[in-house]
Structure 1
Amino acid sequence: MPSNKRRLYIALYPSGVVNNEERKYHWGFLIGPKVEAKFVIPGGRYHVKNSPFGWTYEEILLKNVRATNSLLARILIAKIEDEQRLIALLRRLPVVQGDSNWRCRTWVASALAEIAKDGKCVGTAELDWQKIEAFARRYVADKAASGRYQSVEDILKPKPTWDMIEDKESIP
């Protein structure tokens, strides 16, 4: 019987910091369905964001997980076994204040470590932060170099998506 497990993605957005390669992107998670047959695919975004009041955890239901505002790319990293368990795990992660080295990428890295340690919320997965981060940075840089983010038509399309489980691009 075919599986229809929801998917966990790493999401990259521009951070607004252009002169610092490490801080060039905002990192978060997206959750969406396995099958994306329609143009508009509902899902959710899970991330931490910095505001004038400090870092806060945020969950947002999305009308279209393939094309959220300013999304640069999605990297599929896992098939979800227990979505409620996964979301509860994300909600429990510490949100650190007052440490200038702690950022959204730090939170994503710690989330991946906790997901791996949990062993029950995802099944087939790539959870190695160093591998994911290096690949995601290269993927977005290659897309930018090829002009993928320059025209309005391209910006409105579903965003580039790479499947790290099957090692293939699903949306160019």
Structure 2
Amino acid sequence: MVSNKNRLYIALYPSGATGDVTPEERQYRWGFLVGPKAEKSKEVPGTRYHVKNSIVTGWNYEELSLRDVQNTTTLLARLLIAKIEDDERLKEVFRTTPFVQNDPNWRCRTWVEQVLARIISDGGIVGTSQLDWRAIEQTGRDLEHA
């Protein structure tokens, strides 16, 4: 039994959208970070999993190795949501959760919510966890006002 299982985080980044014209749900970019339990060194390697929208290519999935999962470029918040039991099944969920092109209402937060639903449905990918999307989203938004 592995005692130093990786951890799953929700990551919030600024969306780049401006001011009051942006609805509240579009103020952030949402994604996932995976890193080790032990974070004793200055730089802790990990991985970011997210979808991003490009004017040229539309929505794309990205899996990026990070030198330091604790502090990525423009990271606003990192919320611990789960202890990972099966890293490979989690990666498969990230890689196979579809994204929708040409739907103005579909966003990265939609993908994050769908990933969480698939993790819950699987039942064996994570152990101790908080996977309720509404609670996670509210906690992330509350951090802005803290």
Q: Which runs of 5+ in 2 are unaligned?
A: none
The amino acid across from 2:143 in the alignment is Y
**Aligned residue number for residue 82 of structure 2:** 78
TM-score computed with the length of structure 2 as normaliser = 0.94
Q: Deviations over 1:58-91 (max 9, x none)?
A: 0000000001000011000000000011001110
Alignment RMSD: 1.2
Q: Deviations over 1:1-37 (max 9, x none)?
A: 8821100000000001233221000000000000100
Q: 1:133 aligns with which of 122, 132, 137?
A: 137
**Aligned residue number for residue 35 of structure 1:** 38
1:11-160 matches, cutoff 5 A: 11-18=11-18, 19=20, 20=22, 21-52=24-55, 53-142=57-146
TM-score computed with the length of structure 1 as normaliser = 0.80
**In the aligned structure 2, how far is the partner of 1:80 from the partner of 1:124?**
8
**In the aligned structure 2, how far is the partner of 1:43 from the partner of 1:77?**
15
Per chain length, whose mean CA-contact separation is higher, i.e. which structure has more relative contact order (CA < 8 Å, sep 6+)?
2
Question: Segments of 4+ in structure 1 off by > 3 A?
Answer: none
Aligned residues: 142
The amino acid across from 2:122 in the alignment is D
